[in-house]
Structures are given as structure tokens and as C-alpha cells.
Amino acid sequence: MKALTTTNFQFKGQKSVYHGKVRDVYNINDDLMVMVATDRISAFDVVLPKGIPFKGQVLNQIASRFLDDTADICPNWKLATPDPMVTVGLKCEGFRVEMIIRSILTGSAWRAYEAGEREICGLRLPDGMRENQRFPEPIITPTTKADEGHDMNISREEIISQGIVSADDYEQMEHYTRRLFKRGQEIAANRGLILVDTKYEFGKRDGQVYLIDEIHTPDSSRYFYAEGYEEKFEKGEPQRQLSKEFVRQWLIDHHFMNQPGETMPDMTDEYVASVSERYIELYERITGERFDRDVEQGDVAARIERNVSEYLDVQARASQAL
């Protein structure tokens, strides 16, 4: 399959389009958002030179499932998934903060800790912790949401004092974050996985806080296999994991962390195929269902345009009938 890395649709009622690192978001009449999960992949805040076949479908379908599975916890933006790579939902005014919640010291937090840092987002971490060690309770480590470049860690107090988010809205976001994470951990545990950490994004519409964007995907989350976790931790061995961290580690091993003077390593076809299989493995593991590789793959962009246009036409006719 050929990866879908660019889109340039012109939907009826389209006001604007935002091309993010991996998603293209189309604004329909300042009311709906058409979010296309492309096959682009990013790491260290840079888009890698090759797309990953099936990645967009994996991300969109996992996110769609988890949005449905957590709708009783908080309202979310999703209305429909008219295509395997597309979600259509309510347009919300996004908060300029990402809510990151961690249950285990690993990834970027561990790299900072290993380098001697003991405070993260205003939270003090004790000395003597080890890589992949559980926190007594999950910690929330928010970041500012940057359009370009690196997101920056920020404390709860700074977010409120700088007026980035009101105290009431932040408290609501924090409450939702903990409940969403607990649900995600429960679902993962039933599949033999540990939901290690993840991020949530929220927005506001008509005075109400909504969960927006994706949820519990390998791009926004880190999963460990539960079997063998304790043994590997005691021995100081790397954990078996399903997340995008293996892509970051591959880049690190090839001396690339998007620092000045570094060169992006070559992505061979074999490596691209292996990443695709890892994404599909996560889908099947977390959902317990076989991944559908048989959706129409001839002209993916034409398929998306047709499916989305048909959905928007139905919505427009329904609105006119009211």
C-alpha cells in the first residue's frame, strides 16, 4: 500500500484547513471539523521523510473506539467516522495546553531525571528512582501547545497565573484527565497491556469543556506488555512496548534527536514496513479485533473525498429539514 502523506481537499462549506504534523484538519462552516489522519509520522517535533502505510487508519480507528468508550466520562468532539482515516466532529476552541499523565517514569521524563532533573512541571520527584518505575499515583505533567517547535513543560500554577486556562476550566480538565486515564488503564489491563502514559487535549464550545483530538493511540500514548514487566524492571532490562517510542529510540540509535548539525537517517522500505506492522500489532492487541487491511486502497484520497462529501451532504440536508 502507498502511504497517504498529503491532502488538499475542497469540501463544501470549507472555511480553512490546518496541516499539522500528522493530521490535516478542515474547518466546515466554523461548526464542524474534518480531521484526516494521514500516514505521516513525526518524532522529536519533526515529520519523518516517509509515511507509514496503514498508520492513519490505525490511529483514527483506535481514537474513534476510545472516544466512544469514554463518552460517559466527559463530552467529546466526535460525531462520525465516515472513512477509516477520518473523524468528523464539533469545532471547539482548543486550550493551548496538553494534559500529559504518567504512571511510570520512562521516556522523556526518565531522560530528564537521569540527567539530574528532579522537578517536572512543578512536581518534585524523589531521588533514587529507576527507569520504568511506577509512581505511587499517576502524575499530571502538562505542556504548552506549540504550533511549531517543541512543546514546553509548564506547571498547573503557571497555567492558571498566566491566564492560559482559567482555574475552573483547568480543574475540570484535570478531573477528566484522571478519569480518562483510569478507564484507559482498565481497558489496557484487560488486553494484557499497561497504559504507561498518554496525553489529552481539551477545548470549549458553548461554555462546555470537550475532549478533542485523538485518545489512547500509539502516537499519543505509551503501552508496555504487562507480562514480564516486573521481572524486566527488577533486572533493569528494556520493557516490551507498543508505542511510538521505538521510533524515537531508532532515531536516537542513529544519532538524531532534531538537534543542530544532526542528519535524519535513511528510512529503508524494510524499516517502514516494520513500523507499519508495529502499529497494526497495537491495534489488534488493544482492540482484540483483526485489523482490516482490505479497505479500498486504490486511490485513498479519492475515497476519503467521496466518503466525507457524502456525509457532509447528508448532514446539510438534515439541517435544512429542521
Residue 72 region, left (φ>0) first, then alpha (ψ -120 to 50), else beta?
alpha
* Shared-domain flag, residues 162 and 298: no
Query: Which pLDDT score is estimated for 297?
Result: 67
- Which are the contacts of 81, defined by CB distance < 8 A and separation ≥ 6? 60, 61, 64, 87, 88
Cell, residue 260: 543542530
Specify whether 242 is located in the same domain as 104: yes
pLDDT at residue 158, rounded to an integer: 96
What lies within 8 Å, CB to CB, of 7 at 6+ separation is 24, 36, 38, 301, 304
Task: Give yes or no: residues 109 and 196 share one domain.
Answer: yes
In this prediction, residue 152 carries a pLDDT of 87
pLDDT at res. 147: 59
Domain coverage including residue 234: 93-246
**Helix or strand run (H / E) with residue 230:** helix 229-235
Query: Last residue of a domain, which of 246, 271, 297?
Result: 246
Q: Indicate if 53 and 141 belong to the same structural domain.
A: no
Residue 57, in any domain of the structure: yes
Q: Indicate whether 235 and 314 sit together in one domain.
A: no
Whole-number pLDDT of residue 218: 84
Residues 226 and 290 reside in one and the same domain: no
Say whether both 242 and 97 belong to one domain. yes
- Give the residue from 246, 268, 286 where a domain finishes: 246
CATH number (domain holding residue 34): 3.30.200.20
Which residue ranges in the chain fall short of pLDDT 50? none
Give residue-wise pLDDT tens across range 123-170: 999 999 999 999 999 999 999 976 555 678 999 999 999 999 999 999
**pLDDT score, position 136:** 95
Read off the pTM: 0.89
Residue 56 lies in a domain: yes
Task: Report the percentage of the chain scoring pLDDT > 70.
Answer: 97
Per DSSP, which regions of the chain are E strands?
Answer: 14-19, 23-28, 32-37, 42-43, 46-47, 78-83, 86-90, 93-105, 119-120, 123-124, 133-140, 143-144, 193-205, 208-212, 221-225, 241-243
Residue 2 lies in a domain: no
Residues 87 and 101 in one domain: no
Kindly state whether residue 261 falls inside one of the protein's structural domains: yes
Residue 192 located in a structural domain? yes
In a domain, 279, yes or no: yes
Q: How many domains does the chain have?
A: 2
pLDDT of the residue at 81: 97
In this structure, the answer to whether residues 83 and 203 fall within a common structural domain is: no
Domain for residue 7, yes or no?
no
Last residue of a domain, one of 246, 269, 303: 246
Domain presence at residue 275? yes
130 and 242 fall within a common domain: yes
What is the pLDDT, as a whole number, of residue 286? 87
Do 150 and 238 belong together in one domain? yes
**3-state per-residue secondary structure call for 41-70:** CEECCEECCCCCCCHHHHHHHHHHHHHHHC
In terms of domains, do 98 and 210 share one?
Answer: yes
- In this structure, what CATH number is given to the domain that contains residue 130? 3.30.470.20
- Which pLDDT score is estimated for 2? 83
Q: What is the pLDDT of residue 149?
A: 54
